[in-house]
Structure 1
Amino acid sequence: MRGNRYEDVWIVIPAFNEATVISDVVADVLSVFDNVVCVDDGSRDDTAERAWRSGAHVVRHPVNLGQGAAIQTGVEYARSRPGAAIFATFDADGQHRVQDVMRMIDRLTKEDLDILVGTRFANEAPADMPLLRRVLFPLIAKLSPASRKLKLTDAHNGLRVFNRTVADGLNLTMNGMAHASEIIAVIVENGWRVAEEPVEILYTDYSMSKGQPLVNGVNIVFDGLLRRRMRR
């Protein structure tokens, strides 16, 4: 449904070298939501042009800064737009589903919550999820003190929906993939009300080729722990 129901919603899509799929991803999101901002994080291909031609607002980083920086830029752009009240982060590689975002927005507006985080592990791990990810992602959540405190099972899921309070308070300092740990830590620090929502991830050959290697998962954990120590 388009129009009044989602007129105050902004979808933030961080993108780096996603020219292969970005047009389809933006078109899919725009089939439901009017407000989409794609942050081209220093891509070497024509990601930005394709996103713009598909109807998204486009903000460009002249160099690659990392997904955390792209999300921060996108949220800052979105929260500057008149009437913006609800925000979502949505990956550019085609893994996320618009219907999950719609359900999360409906739940956020009905329940006493500030932020909803998608989870792949509400029940059993998806059968099509690569074995390494089945092991790595729950392990990262268990190693994170903030995730354990909030009882999150999939803190590094890129699909999130949040209100204006969170958008105004978000000030990510970790530019790379460790931004996911930082978001969870900031939720704890600010006492924001959080819950998980079961979502489906679409694993394609393309999205799998864009996946993060094991070493990045380890770095995420240690970057998150380092930030926690630095803020003491």
Structure 2
Amino acid sequence: MDTNDDVWVVVPVFNEAPMVREVMEGLRTHFPNVVAVDDGSTDASAAEIEAAGAHLVRHPFNMGAGAALQTGVNFALLDPRAAYFVTFDADGQHRVEDAVAMVERLRSTPVDVLIGSRFLGSATNMRRSRRGLLRVGRLFERLSSGIALTDAHNGLRAFRRSFAEVLKLSVADMGWASEFLTRLAESGLRYAEHPVTVQYTAYSLSKGQPSINSVNIGMDVVVNRLLRGRR
């Protein structure tokens, strides 16, 4: 096993029993510290996480991916040795080797946050409609946060503790990816994209968000920013 004792991988989980154990076991071959946040699953996800030997934190009911990620980051921050953090999806579409490469890049270059990009890397079996939505999302993020990326909604991200301590996600649902970029812009920390491979399978595609949810998520982000500005 690689050392990586100062790295924590955070995985939000909601009804991923068929896949989550395999994902956890793959991560733990390189990262001893993996925390999965079971976001009110109604299947056997929690049992599968425990069987894989990962840390398990449970929400009493479904709160959304953003809330699960923040819970996981908060849990990892309790470890004073935690220097690097990785967010990783539970549906098997990310590769562990990409997460390893991102952490190695953080260790060796003056970058604070790395965001995975399937458009700099590759995306197998991605639907044309999905590609189009991601392009729209890229434009939305550039206009709303000022951060220009090739892939603004990739769940694979790695960052230093300096960013973990100021992240503080308040958007509970899938709009977390947008809020993440807003926090990044506010922080003034250094960021870059990293080429990764996203592997779309029948299982991961079945877990995807309906297209209309992209509109709902965008509205959630806009409303949250307006409310935040009034505080």
Q: What TM-score does the superposition give when structure 2 sets the normalisation length?
A: 0.94
Residues 31-46 of structure 1: matches in 2 within 5 Å? Answer: 31-46=29-44
Residues 20-39 of structure 1: matches in 2 within 5 Å? Answer: 20-39=18-37
Match of 1:18 among 9, 12, 16: 16
Q: How far has the Cα of 1:148 moved from its partner?
A: 6.6
Kept in 2: contact 1:144–1:224 (CA 8 A): no
The separation in 1 between residues aligned to 2:119 and 2:144, in whole angstroms, is 14
Q: Deviations over 1:159-201 (max 9, x none)?
A: 0000001111111110000111000011011112111111101
Q: Deviations over 1:40-81 (max 9, x none)?
A: 000001111110111100000010000000000000001102
RMSD of aligned residue pairs (Cα, Å): 1.5
Sequence identity, in percent? 47
The separation in 2 between residues aligned to 1:151 and 1:140, in whole angstroms, is 11
The residue type equivalent to 2:31 in the other structure is F
Kept in 1: contact 2:14–2:39 (CA 8 A): yes
Q: Deviations over 1:101-133 (max 9, x none)?
A: 01111111112111101111127x736211111
The separation in 2 between residues aligned to 1:55 and 1:142, in whole angstroms, is 40
Kept in 2: contact 1:141–1:147 (CA 8 A): no
Q: Secondary structure at the match of 2:35?
A: strand
Pair 1:119-2:112 in alignment: no
Pair 1:132-2:124 in alignment: no
Residues 114-193 of structure 1: matches in 2 within 5 Å? Answer: 114-122=112-120, 126=123, 128-145=125-142, 149-193=146-190
**In structure 2, what is the equivalent of residue 220 of structure 1?**
217
Kept in 2: contact 1:119–1:197 (CA 8 A): yes
Q: How far has the Cα of 1:229 moved from its partner?
A: 2.8
**In structure 1, what is the equivalent of residue 72 of structure 2?**
74
Q: Alignment length, in residue pairs? A: 229
Q: How far has the Cα of 1:149 moved from its partner?
A: 2.4
The residue type equivalent to 1:182 in the other structure is E
Residue ranges of structure 2 left out of the alignment (5+ in a row): none
Q: How far has the Cα of 1:2 moved from its partner?
A: 1.8
The separation in 1 between residues aligned to 2:142 and 2:18, in whole angstroms, is 37
Residue ranges of structure 1 left out of the alignment (5+ in a row): none
**In structure 2, what is the equivalent of residue 101 of structure 1?**
99
The separation in 1 between residues aligned to 2:47 and 2:171, in whole angstroms, is 27
The separation in 2 between residues aligned to 1:13 and 1:135, in whole angstroms, is 26
Structure 1 residues 221 and 153, CA, compared in 2 at 3 Å: closer, same or farther? farther
**In structure 2, what is the equivalent of residue 92 of structure 1?**
90
Kept in 1: contact 2:67–2:171 (CA 8 A): yes
Q: How far has the Cα of 1:150 moved from its partner?
A: 2.1
Q: How far has the Cα of 1:147 moved from its partner?
A: 6.6
Pair 1:2-2:2 in alignment: yes
The residue type equivalent to 2:131 in the other structure is R
